[in-house]
């Protein structure tokens, strides 16, 4: 008995020591100190953002010997959560030098933790980037983010199915959502396929519609809730309702079903961000059967244009972590100016960059066989430059969670749009009190 207990105590002691030992080791490997020239980058998605970061790393390390860039893949939700917990406790231990943040969320961070991010205004030139990105990436006149990918919305569609329904490519150019529904009904009737998928939990399509008219959940100042009298939102919800009632929608509940639907040929179109392209072209058996048109606009709203955005992110430097000068230099030399990097990424991950110069590079001039020879990067780039600029403000996800309930009540329970939006406005204003 005694020996058993002794062994147990010894084990515990050994383990306790090893914890302490781990503490020491960890301190060495994670403190991003200025002497060893190490940079840590956090990004989500191993097939897109992380690949981009790796390319940037390769370029920079070649030019700058002695710099070690470490890229860590982490789920976006986890990154957001860690940034919030750390920054709110004024702790920088373990934070990366550079972090990718989605455009919809950025204002939250820049406003909540004003001193935590590095001002990049002197490192990169705002004029080098597409206009609409500058709004989300700046705060109080200073540019904090290095714009990365364009979430330009586009209408990807199956030319063969549309032809079967009696529509040519020219019929798909610069249409309205109302026309889109009409076309969808014909497609359903003649081919039996749904026109698009929709996820009742995801109001992405409403965001596209709002931004196409230069509107958002909040007004220009970024804090005043704008739901009740938001014409674009109202019209958007009307269209949303029509879509759901038209019988042309295939309902899905998550990302994999979304991708599965068009990869399996179950839908005739995908109106969403350009980043979906890499998933579309994975279905190699459908090569040559796809084309890309401008995103439809809201026919009933005068200010709506055939250009909008959904998603997109930018790179930010955490000012109080390690060598922020080195970090900002890294970004400036790669995503900030390097159009060759953009060229490589256009090929590798189908990136539509928001660096203006990228549209002049080689890969952007290519005709893509999958899309019937269309020079899609050219088109996507052109539409990116037309995206109406909007201040995403502080409450995007808060308001959206409120709105999913509102939209459901309108679509499924037949509630009156104006009344429902009025109620949502009140809810959002209460939630926006900070």
Q: Within 46-75, which residues bind other proteins (CB under 8 A)?
A: 46-48, 50, 71-75
CB of 372 to other proteins, least distance (A): 24
Stretch that binds other proteins, among 2-10, 162-170, 241-249, 371-379 (CB under 8 A): 2-10
**Residue length of the chain:** 434
Q: Is 159 helix (H, G, I), strand (E, B) or coil?
A: helix
Nearer to other proteins, 7 or 373 (CB): 7
Residues 104-133 that bind other proteins (CB under 8 A): 108, 111-113
- 420 vs 411: CA distance, rounded Å: 11
Beta strands in 174-279, from DSSP E residues, in sequence order: 196-198, 249-251, 269-273
Q: Between vectors from CA 58 to CA 55 and to CA 60, what angle results, nearest 5°?
A: 110
Residues 353-382 that bind other proteins (CB under 8 A): none
Residues 273-302 that bind other proteins (CB under 8 A): 279
Residues 325-344 that bind other proteins (CB under 8 A): none
- 390 vs 211: CA distance, rounded Å: 7
Number of residues that bind other proteins (CB under 8 A): 77
Tokens 């309108």 correspond to: 410
Among 38, 39, 44, 162, binds other proteins (CB under 8 A): 44
Among 3, 29, 170, 284, binds other proteins (CB under 8 A): 29
CB of 188 to other proteins, least distance (A): 17
Q: Is 43 helix (H, G, I), strand (E, B) or coil?
A: strand
Closest CA to 124 of 313, 314, 346, 309: 314
Stretch that binds other proteins, among 23-31, 147-155, 180-188, 355-363 (CB under 8 A): 23-31
Q: 260's torsion region: left (phi>0), alpha (psi -120 to 50) or beta?
A: alpha
Residues 187-216 that bind other proteins (CB under 8 A): 199-201
Nearer to other proteins, 126 or 431 (CB): 431
Nearer to other proteins, 82 or 356 (CB): 82
CB of 408 to other proteins, least distance (A): 4
Nearer to other proteins, 200 or 372 (CB): 200
Helices (H), 89-227: 103-112, 131-137, 159-164, 177-191, 204-212
- 155 vs 170: CA distance, rounded Å: 13
Nearer to other proteins, 181 or 411 (CB): 411
Nearer to other proteins, 35 or 434 (CB): 434
CB of 81 to other proteins, least distance (A): 4
- 124 vs 143: CA distance, rounded Å: 9
Stretch that binds other proteins, among 59-67, 84-92, 133-141, 171-179 (CB under 8 A): 84-92
Distance of CA 351 to the CA centre of its chain: 12
CB of 90 to other proteins, least distance (A): 7
Contact string 227-266 vs other proteins (x = CB under 8 A): ------------------------xxxxxxx-xx------
User: Residue 18, interface with other proteins (CB under 8 A)?
Assistant: yes
Contact string 134-163 vs other proteins (x = CB under 8 A): ------------------------------
Helices (H), 31-130: 49-63, 76-88, 103-112
- 239 vs 94: CA distance, rounded Å: 46
Among 10, 58, 189, 430, binds other proteins (CB under 8 A): 430
Beta strands in 17-58, from DSSP E residues, in sequence order: 38-43
Nearer to other proteins, 11 or 189 (CB): 11
DSSP H or E run through 383: helix 376-386
Tokens 């190490």 correspond to: 38
CB of 251 to other proteins, least distance (A): 5
- 215 vs 201: CA distance, rounded Å: 21
196-198 and 249-251 as β-strands: parallel, antiparallel, unpaired?
parallel
Among 36, 90, 224, 360, binds other proteins (CB under 8 A): 90
What does the radius of gyration of the chain's CA atoms come to, in whole angstroms? 24
3-state percent helix, strand, coil for the chain, nearest multiple of 5:
50, 15, 35
Among 82, 163, 185, 238, binds other proteins (CB under 8 A): 82
Residues 384-413 that bind other proteins (CB under 8 A): 394-395, 397-398, 401-402, 404-405, 407-408
Q: Is 311 helix (H, G, I), strand (E, B) or coil?
A: coil
């Amino acid at each position: 008995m005694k020996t058993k207990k002794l062994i147990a105590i010894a084990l515990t002691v050994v383990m306790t020591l090893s914890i302490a030992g781990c503490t020491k080791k960890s301190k060495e490997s994670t403190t991003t100190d200025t002497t060893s020239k190490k940079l840590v980058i956090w990004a989500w998605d191993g097939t897109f953002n992380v690949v981009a970061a790796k390319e940037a790393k390769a370029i920079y390390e070649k030019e700058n010997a002695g710099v070690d860039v470490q890229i860590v893949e982490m789920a976006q939700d986890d990154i957001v959560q860690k940034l919030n917990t750390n920054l709110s406790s004024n702790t920088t231990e373990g934070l990366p030098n550079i972090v990718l943040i989605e455009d919809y969320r950025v204002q939250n961070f820049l406003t909540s933790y004003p001193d935590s991010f590095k001002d990049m205004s002197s490192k990169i030139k705002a004029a080098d980037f597409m206009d609409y990105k500058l709004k989300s990436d700046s705060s109080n006149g200073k540019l904090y983010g290095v714009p990365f990918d364009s979430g330009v919305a586009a209408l990807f569609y199956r030319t063969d199915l549309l032809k079967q329904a009696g529509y040519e490519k020219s019929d798909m150019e610069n249409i309205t959502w109302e026309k889109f529904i009409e076309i969808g009904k014909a497609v359903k009737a003649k081919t039996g396929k749904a026109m698009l998928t929709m996820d009742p939990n995801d109001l992405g399509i409403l965001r596209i519609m709002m931004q196409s008219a230069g509107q958002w959940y909040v007004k220009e100042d970024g804090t005043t809730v704008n739901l009740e009298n938001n014409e674009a939102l109202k019209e958007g919800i009307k269209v949303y309702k029509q879509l759901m009632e038209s019988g042309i929608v295939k309902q899905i509940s998550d990302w994999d079903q979304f991708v599965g639907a068009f990869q399996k040929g179950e839908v005739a179109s995908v109106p969403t961000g350009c980043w979906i392209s890499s998933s579309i072209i994975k279905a190699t058996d459908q090569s040559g059967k796809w084309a890309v048109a401008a995103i439809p606009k809201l026919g009933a709203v005068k200010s709506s244009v055939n250009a909008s955005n959904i998603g997109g992110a930018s790179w930010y430097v955490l000012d109080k972590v390690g060598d922020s000068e080195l970090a900002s230099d890294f970004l400036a030399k790669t995503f900030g100016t390097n159009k060759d990097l953009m060229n490589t990424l256009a090929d590798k991950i189908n990136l539509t960059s928001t660096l203006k110069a990228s549209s002049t590079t080689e890969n952007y001039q290519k005709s893509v066989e999958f899309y019937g020879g269309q020079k899609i990067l050219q088109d996507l780039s052109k539409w990116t430059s037309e995206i109406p600029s909007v201040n995403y403000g502080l409450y995007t996800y808060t308001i959206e969670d409120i709105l999913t309930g509102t939209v459901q009540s309108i679509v499924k329970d037949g509630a009156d749009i104006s009344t429902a939006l009025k109620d949502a406005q009140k809810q959002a204003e209460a939630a926006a009190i900070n």
